[in-house]
């Protein structure tokens, strides 16, 4: 079963994303801070990370850089979540090499399409 780490400060949105992933038979783990994500990654490497770009407690791109500095076998795919009212965040995400950006909040169809494009399902 594929696994996804969801980094999202908004607990209700994080839980919603995890519920949608479970409907697609994808194991998911929510974390609410960059520190929580790094602690999780010290133990286990997911197949994919979903990263909210609108982080109130810090810079999502600093979180992304820290994730990429980790000691992984190979790079972990990262999908971003951004609101339609955040085009500058979406543009910067693309510049940082993130190929897929989900709308905030994502639908089951949005997630299914992106997971299919990444080859996860």
Q: What angle do CA 4, 113, 83 make, to 5 degrees?
A: 75
Handedness of CA 77, 93, 38, 68 (dihedral sign): positive
Q: Is residue 121 part of a domain?
A: no
Decide: 54 and 60 in contact? Cβ < 8 Å. Answer: yes
Q: According to the model, what pLDDT value does residue 87 have?
A: 83
CATH code at position 37: 3.40.50.2300
pLDDT digits (tens, 9 = 90+) for 64-95: 888 887 766 567 889 999 887 778 888 888 89
Predicted confidence band of residue 8 (pLDDT cuts 50, 70, 90):
very high
Q: Is residue 102 part of a domain?
A: yes
Q: Is residue 75 part of a domain?
A: yes
The number of distinct structural domains making up the chain is 1
Q: According to the model, what pLDDT value does residue 67 have?
A: 80
Q: According to the model, what pLDDT value does residue 71 have?
A: 67
**What DSSP string describes 79-118?**
EEEE-TT-HHHHHHHHHTT--EEEESSPPHHHHHHHHHHH
Q: Is residue 117 part of a domain?
A: no
Residues in the chain: 121
Instruction: Give the residue carrying structure tokens 């399409």.
Output: 113
* DSSP for residue 54: -
Region label for 119, one of left (φ > 0), alpha (ψ between -120 and 50) or beta (otherwise): left
Q: According to the model, what pLDDT value does residue 25 have?
A: 96
Which of 34-48, 52-66, 83-97 has the highest mean predicted lDDT (pLDDT)? Answer: 34-48
If you average pLDDT over every residue of the chain, what do you get?
Answer: 89
Q: According to the model, what pLDDT value does residue 74 have?
A: 67
Domain extent at residue 24: 3-112
Question: Is the pTM here over 0.75, yes or no?
Answer: yes
């Amino acid at each position: 079963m594929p696994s996804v780490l969801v980094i999202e400060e908004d607990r209700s949105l994080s839980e919603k994303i995890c519920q949608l992933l479970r409907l697609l038979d994808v194991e998911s783990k929510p974390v609410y801070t960059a520190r929580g994500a790094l602690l999780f990654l010290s133990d286990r490497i997911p197949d994919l990370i979903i990263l909210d770009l609108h982080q109130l407690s810090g810079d999502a791109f600093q979180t992304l850089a820290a994730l990429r500095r980790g000691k992984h076998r190979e790079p972990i795919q990262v999908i971003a979540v951004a609101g339609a009212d955040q085009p500058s965040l979406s543009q910067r995400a693309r510049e940082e090499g993130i190929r897929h950006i989900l709308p905030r909040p994502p639908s089951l169809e949005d997630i299914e399409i992106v997971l299919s494009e990444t080859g996860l399902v």
